[in-house]
Amino acid sequence: MLSPIVQHGLAALGAHRSAIVWGGLLAVVVLWVIRRTPCIGPYRLPRVLPWRLSRRPVVIWREGPFLGWSRGRLGQTRWAFGSREDSVAIVGPPRISGKTAGIVIPQAAMFDGALVTTSTKPDVLRHTVARRLALAREHGGDVYVYAPTADGPVEGFRPMRWSPLAGCEDPLVAAMRVDALVTVADVGRNVENADHWRAGAARILRAYFLAAAHHPSRPGDFSVVTRWLSLHEFREPLVILSGLPLDGAQDWAADLAGVDQRTNDRERSSFFAAAATALKVTAVPRVLRSCSATDIDPAEFIRTRSTLYIISPSEYQSGLAPLCSALVESIVHEAYRLHDAHGPRSALDLRRLATQVGRLLSGGDPLPQEAGPPRVLLQLDELTNIAPLPSLESIVSQGAGRGVPCCWTVQSLAQLRNRYGDHAAEAIWSASTCKLIFGGLADVSTLDQVSRLVGDHRVRTRTVSIDPEGYRRRTYGYEWRPRLAPSQLRELPRKWTVLLYHQRRPYALRAPIAARKRRLRDAVRPVAAAAPVAAMSQAATSPDARLRVVEFDDVPPAALPTDAEGAEVQR
Ligand SMILES: Nc1ncnc2c1ncn2[C@@H]1O[C@H](COP(=O)(O)OP(=O)(O)OP(=O)(O)O)[C@@H](O)[C@H]1O
Ligand SMILES: [Mg+2]
């Protein structure tokens, strides 16, 4: 027997049966329209991502890198984020795509760890510094700007100093630093026996770096190295090295003495010329001044979730690349060291999860967050020009697992191949787990490669023929065609990207200019326009102290200290 309430309900349903049917039909049509329009991108690529990648479109600090704008199943706006283990490759032609304005800037504004970001212009700094400074301040950190060619404050920040000798008191660091500088400077390029000249340059520089880092009166001042190089100095570094009780110091001293005594004049001069090539940008007095001391401590930088903006104008790129790469690598090595010292975090700790659930159910306090070292996101915008890291291949493939996820940007894969060589470029590209490709590319091999990665799909074909009796015959069949032909990829509309994520099918994402979108506008408001966010500058707290951020409340950047004043602050 049914209760009176159920009977009443069934009677009501019966009376409104036709309205319910119509309502259901309408809902199906609406859902169908939604699935056909906002949820589908160009070339019918889906915009609805798997739940693991899709997040609510709210600006909060997140573990994974921002990838672009997607849709939910009901057509609502969602944002795409990679996982904490992902590395991101972005390929798009210059100016029109919106790599920086659409992806790099919002990514910087939402990544919850420390950040190193490279750029030719101060656009990332301008749009994200307010949020990055807020995060750093929360953890006792700072925002640093490395712009060795700047002759005054950049967007209100006085650039920091960094000496390539930082950390070189340790022979291992000195050896790695010299390798990075010599490799990035491409010493001996287009010369016969390039390896020989490179090895010769490294023999001199290794010994010089270790000796200069232990210099009795000016430890860490890079002008010591440049002076020794100009004078072909042997005596002073040999004296310092002979007094060092360090592994390798005596071997390097012997190496340097060998260059002095066992090579002829011509070869020796060529070794010195090769060494000078790796450091040629330090011939610019402004750059050399920025190498006189080090204002950043990588371990503290990481622990305090600070941000480092590396700004290398395009006209100085080739000269500055070795310095920028060496600086970034020094932070990467420190991040690895901190991460390895802490041990890996298990992806799914069931015991911890059970304890957490138990505590929450019993009304207790949740477990405190695991105190692992924060991660460092490397945003290598214009990778091949600014900081072509020699170890990029290993950073991309295993850095995310050791606390250093990476997002690199190039204007075509040809740029990457030109810089790293075919095999290394291929390895870097294939190890990047999220690939974002913009339209407008004209590099045929890149277009071909991406088209093949996107794959084929089966299309129905119809063939019309005239048979011997003169009748038209239609034959239907199927054939496999590229899902996205190279020309279609080139014609992808502006502000759209194709996302290739792990083994998943391709998706279409939007990458609109962040500063123009309501949901992101406040988070990426430029410093000058942010009120009452103060324009900021950095000044040394004491001659040797690292830089401290000081606020100039309500002062627009234009009114910040002039070059002369900036120079006064600097030692
Ligand atoms: N805040 C902004 N407001 C309006 N337009 C902007 C803004 N930022 C960038 N743009 C425009 O968006 C386009 C893309 O700029 P973006 O700097 O992102 O290019 P990109 O893909 O990074 O190119 P490149 O490889 O040259 O760096 C440019 O035409 C630029 O003028
Ligand atoms: Mg850019």
Helices of type H across 283-342: 285-290, 298-303, 317-342
477 alpha carbon – ligand 1 mean position (Å): 46
DSSP letter at 64 equals: S
486 alpha carbon – ligand 1 mean position (Å): 24
Q: What global pTM score does this model have? A: 0.83
Reply yes or no on whether the pLDDT at 569 is more than 60.
no
Q: What is the phi/psi pair of residue 356, to 5°?
A: -60, -50
Q: What is the phi/psi pair of residue 12, to 5°?
A: -65, -40
Residue closest via CA to ligand 1's atom 1 equals 515
Residue closest via CA to ligand 1's atom 12 equals 98
Reply yes or no on whether the pLDDT at 545 is more than 70.
no
Residue closest via CA to ligand 1's atom 15 equals 98
* pLDDT value, residue 210: 96
The answer to whether 109 touches 102, Cβ cutoff 8 Å, is no
pLDDT tier at 68, thresholds 50, 70, 90:
very high
Residue closest via CA to ligand 1's atom 5 equals 513
Reply yes or no on whether the pLDDT at 69 is more than 80.
yes
Ligand 1 site-directed mutation target among 513, 522, 527, most atoms within 8 Å of CB: 513
Per residue in 435-446, pLDDT (tens digit) is 999 999 998 999
123 alpha carbon – ligand 1 mean position (Å): 9
| Helix, coil or strand: residue 382 | coil
Return the higher-pLDDT residue of 277 and 367: 277
Ligand 1 site-directed mutation target among 66, 90, 96, 100, most atoms within 8 Å of CB: 100
Give which of 163, 92, 19, 79 is closest to 443, Cα–Cα.
Answer: 92
95 alpha carbon – ligand 1 mean position (Å): 6
pLDDT (average), residues 21-31: 80
* pLDDT value, residue 548: 37
Reply yes or no on whether the pLDDT at 524 is more than 90.
yes
* pLDDT value, residue 311: 93
Which of ligand 1's atoms lies nearest the C-alpha of 516? 3
* Ligand 1 neighbours by CB, cut-off 6 Å: 92, 94-95, 97-102, 411, 513, 515-516
Return the higher-pLDDT residue of 26 and 301: 301
Q: What is the phi/psi pair of residue 253, to 5°?
A: -65, -40
98 alpha carbon – ligand 2 mean position (Å): 7
Per residue in 187-212, pLDDT (tens digit) is 777 777 888 888 999 999 999 999 99
510 alpha carbon – ligand 1 mean position (Å): 14
pLDDT (average), residues 555-571: 32
* pLDDT value, residue 530: 40
* pLDDT value, residue 566: 35
Residue closest via CA to ligand 1's atom 25 equals 94
pLDDT (average), residues 140-158: 92
* pLDDT value, residue 14: 76
Q: Map out the domains of the chain as residue ranges.
A: 22-142+306-315+380-439+497-565, 171-287
The first and second tokens of residue 487, run together, are: 């020309």
Residues lining ion ligand 2 (Cβ < 5 A) are 99-100
Ligand 1 site-directed mutation target among 90, 91, 97, most atoms within 8 Å of CB: 97
Mean pLDDT, the chain, integer: 85
Ligand 1 site-directed mutation target among 95, 99, 312, 517, most atoms within 8 Å of CB: 95
What is the identity of the amino acid at 450?
V
The first and second tokens of residue 457, run together, are: 């799909």
pLDDT tier at 449, thresholds 50, 70, 90:
very high
The first and second tokens of residue 186, run together, are: 């491409």
Cα maximum dimension of the chain:
110
* pLDDT value, residue 1: 56
Reply yes or no on whether the pLDDT at 558 is more than 60.
no
508 alpha carbon – ligand 2 mean position (Å): 20
> 353, exposed or middle or buried, with CB in 10 Å at 0-12, 13-18, 19+?
exposed
Per residue in 46-63, pLDDT (tens digit) is 999 999 999 999 999 999
The first and second tokens of residue 122, run together, are: 């101060």
Per cent of the chain over pLDDT 70 is 88
Per residue in 111-142, pLDDT (tens digit) is 999 999 999 889 999 999 999 999 999 999 99
Angle formed at CA 127 by CA 125 and CA 132, multiple of 5 degrees: 65
Residue closest via CA to ligand 1's atom 30 equals 95
Per residue in 334-374, pLDDT (tens digit) is 999 998 887 655 555 677 777 778 767 766 666 556 657 88
CA distances from 336 to 86, 144, 369, 405 (A): 16, 21, 20, 11
Return the higher-pLDDT residue of 54 and 549: 54
What is the identity of the amino acid at 532?
P
Angle formed at CA 166 by CA 164 and CA 170, multiple of 5 degrees: 115
Q: Which of 24-28, 125-129, 527-531 has the lowest mean pLDDT?
A: 527-531
Which of ligand 1's atoms lies nearest the C-alpha of 514? 1
* pLDDT value, residue 337: 92
